[in-house]
Structure 1
């Protein structure tokens, strides 16, 4: 059973949160942050999750959060901040300091339970990845095919975790990797490879599926928002590039000097950079952006343009083609855009195949949903 520490000044809210969660988790409820820090310093086993108010007796919630995130024993604790402050800057500061989620007061116990469940799912996924690392290290020395299977496993686990938060993520990751493969193949066939080894083709395409893995750390309400982001929300969304890069760096010691991690890092961190320097997170320009990220940027943009979502209509292939062509030298590397143009017929055909796959998947979901909702007297049994 997972353990949770709750820190809140309000005795009423403290009791409510404890009662809402104590059936499924081991709960420690406290209203004094200094006492809580002293307890954590003495503890040999840390809580899995800490839920705390920004305003606390003793030491402020942000100060506690900073200590947790910088402490050797506590840096991996998942922290959910709660606050009655309606100023968006409070939420932004919480995420900047390392909080994994933010819940506004008055706290809905239903929402809180769901947010905790999300963190538990992520912890479960992390456990799977951790237990798998020793097997991965052993297999790195074995045949290349075995290593590839392990990398497929990693991608499957992470993609499933992202899909829990963003239902479109799985299909989008597959689509982007397919489009990138077609563009990269065209570049390699033309002899324009920027030092890319053709032998790494499959591994690069595989790694590209993890380019949005950092979205695991982005709040649900942002990922699932159907309208335009506010400036504050967009700043939070942009953090998915840094979150992914930091996670890869943090655990790269387990399998050092691997192309798989190197490729994944490049694409996850830099795929939102722009050729003219106006992108994020590092405002790189031109060839200073890693080539794999420059290719992925075109593939990712094409997928975003031609995909239908609940909040937008898709562009036609021709419209997407024109938008990308016009952005050559601005958003995109002109050499990559040229390869995209030469491969566009194959890319269009691939988009049609992927659209058919997605439609079939949706129909299956509707079918399953209708069966589960069918009244017993209409089931035919």
Structure 2
């Protein structure tokens, strides 16, 4: 039996079981085309599925049912994606897990997207309606998911995407792609709530973590970003009827040698109104960043989009606290909001960002914003 058929067969058997079921992918390198693990499982309230990509004494793909405490074996199994793009559809994913309650993905395994052969076909920098390449691992409509100790390398597009997920906890995740790999965002959220990502290392060619539309109650802590970009909210406002973003907390993170640090980006010409509110960025260390803190409400990601018109995304109650480090460019803080919907109540407290060169003071231009400075160090000076 081929590896793809074995994966699907083991999944179907596990999904029909009741109790705590472990699917074990042993320490073998598998070349796998696109695969979907779909629920709902037979008894949602009584079935818990553990998908383990680990080292095992087994020589074949197998399903084990354990009783008692979960066994932890932290060695690396290895899954490699097919490189033939004709096997994937537009915007498809390589590994998709959907409609499952209580999934745990653990074991220290690696998902290798083999993206180098696909990256030359990424045209998104020139075409706003570009064909999207496959995401490494996509979680769709999942509840109570745990991802621990998993590695993703060289994805063709996003490494990990969460869409319509609730109560997702990810920790000790490692994500890696070259700095010049296009659109290889580390972790992307959309229309999800109750998300907790912590203690992870992410270095890619794009956003370390990107928070799209329709997300609430998201906690991001103890993340190390670099290379690539930093942590971004958006872009927001491209489509009608987008959901708001609220309750985001980013805390105790470090960023080094990357372009953007914290960025909130919304589209000009947005066709409908939405909002991003109640967001806190606190205790973040930035070293030699090109663009440490930026609000950009005229975001235009490709040469085919038009920057004309005003963004209709309302930004309010955003806190930047205890952010320290250096900027490699003259502008350390840029709060450039929409004339149509000016930013309300952007708070800065104890922000200390000096020029890495040490030759002069960085600047902090402001536009269409009501900014408040609530104590502590303010370098560069407010809106200077």
Between structure 1 and structure 2, the one with the greater Rg is 1
Structure richer in strand, relative to its length = 2
TM-score, length-normalised on structure 1?
A: 0.33
Whose RCO is larger (CA < 8 A, sep 6+)? 1
TM-score, length-normalised on structure 2?
A: 0.32
